[in-house]
Amino acid sequence: MIPEVSFTYFAVLNVVTGVFCQSAIDSAQNDHANIVHAMLANKEAHIDKIRSLFSQLGADKTGVITYAMFEEGINSPATCEYFESLGLDVWDAWSFFKLLDLDKGGAVEIEEFFKGCLRLRGQARGVDVGKILHDQTWLIKNTGHFQAYMEVKMKQLTEMTRRSRPTIQQ
């Protein structure tokens, strides 16, 4: 009787331990912070991959890609494979390029490309949504102020034009 109880006890304990360990493994694999940390630790390897990608896009000599180069090479197997390995879904080349071009210079350097891809990986977090809401609120408020200012100026301009208009004599 005692061996059957012991066997059952160890079997149940083994299943519980297995479920716990599998859950911990899945959680660690999907943890965005761990992935970004691993990428930063292997930064040189990723920079080498990006250099190779830039070379395939035609940026061997300059070390920068333009939108035209990016658009031309976005559907190449090497480019698609690189973005897929990062978990990035690039369906709009123009928008994606603009998000990578942090300095708005019209060209993306290797370091800028690396940082942009890191920033765009994974799902939106609460802080990302909060920043968008804050920026949107600021934009709406300032647009309202600007519109009110322009209405006042337009009234003043209309009044000045009406006063300075010569009267037509018959």
Quote the CA–CA distance of 94 and 71 in Å, as a whole number. Answer: 8
- Name residues whose C-beta falls within 8 Å of residue 1's C-beta, 6 or more positions apart in sequence: none
Q: What is the pLDDT of residues 53-81, one digit of tens each?
A: 888 777 777 778 888 888 888 788 878 88
HSE, CB side, 13 Å, CA atoms: give it for residue 40.
10
For the residues 35-44, what does the mean pLDDT come to?
71
> Is 170 a residue whose pLDDT tops 60?
no
Are 93 and 71 within 8 A, CB to CB?
yes
What is the chain's mean pLDDT, rounded?
78
